[in-house]
Amino acid sequence: MKKALGTILFVIYAIIAITVTVLLLSYNDYNNSQLGGYTVYIVKDDSLEPKFKQGSILLIKSTSDKNVQIGDELFMYKVINSQEYEVIDTTLKAKTQQGRHITYIVDEDESYANDYFIGRVSDTVVIQGWGYVLNLLESKWGYLFCVVVVSLLLFLQEVFELAMEIKFLGEQKKKTKAVEVKSEEIDDEDVTEKTKKTESKPVHKKTAAPRTTTHKTSAESKKTAEHKTTTKKKTTKEENK
């Protein structure tokens, strides 16, 4: 839940930071953002009141000169000096054209070239209250601290988390390797122990049964000898006869 909330907040911040950056990069010559056919103007004072309150954001749609009619309420850039311009709303009383050059007459002694024309009041989208926030973010110090510094901190946090994750994976890999080595050592010890037990076992050799020799007694020997002598004598007598 906490991780999901952090992701949502990060996405919201990223959208805001990118939007502010794009608006700053799309500044026109009058120091206002011009993007996608709209001029983004922040009401910073009460010059447009009571129609438009201070702190509002005006999205003024660009329109062609052909669509501008007498009696339309228009937004114009009023020149204060060579580098400053003020947005005013006024009613068109007449317009003249010489070639491509068009002049908008809003009063007897006040007129504007078409280069200073922004858009019609009727084509404007008003966002109440958010002008204060956008004005802060578009300021020099506001953009520095709210966008640049925060983005840098978030980037460093991501790098730190990535480094910690890599370190954790490395430690896990080392632990796994150590367990495998220990397991191999235990297996080797078991094999060695079994080998020693096998070698220390006594070997039982089969012994041949003792040969049984028949020992003749002296009496039996004498009888055999006498029998042989008697037989020999008998044989001799028979031959003499």
Domain definitions of the chain by residue range: 1-138, 141-180
Tell me how far apart the alpha carbons of residues 114 and 200 are, in angstroms, rounded to a whole number: 111
Tell me how far apart the alpha carbons of residues 45 and 52 are, in angstroms, rounded to a whole number: 10
pLDDT of res. 42: 93
Q: Is the pLDDT of residue 207 over 80?
A: no
pLDDT of res. 231: 53
Q: Does residue 72 contact residue 57 with C-beta atoms inside 8 Å? A: no
pLDDT of res. 169: 86
The angle that helices 131-138 and 2-25 make with each other, rounded to 10 degrees, is 70
CA 206 to chain centre: 76
Q: Which two tokens stand for residue 151?
A: 């983005």
Section 117-139 average pLDDT: 91
Q: Is the pLDDT of residue 201 over 90?
A: no
pLDDT of res. 39: 93
pLDDT band at 65 (very low <50, low <70, confident <90, very high): confident
pTM here is 0.63
Q: Does residue 70 contact residue 55 with C-beta atoms inside 8 Å? A: no
pLDDT band at 197 (very low <50, low <70, confident <90, very high): low
pLDDT band at 120 (very low <50, low <70, confident <90, very high): very high
Q: Is the pLDDT of residue 184 over 60?
A: yes
CATH code 2.10.109 for 1-138: yes
Tell me how far apart the alpha carbons of residues 78 and 30 are, in angstroms, rounded to a whole number: 10
Q: Which two tokens stand for residue 184?
A: 């191999």
pLDDT of res. 239: 46
- Radius of gyration of the chain, Cα coordinates, nearest whole angstrom: 58
Section 82-91 average pLDDT: 87
The angle that helices 150-200 and 2-25 make with each other, rounded to 10 degrees, is 140
Section 138-149 average pLDDT: 90
Burial of 172 (0-12, 13-18, 19+ CB in 10 A): exposed
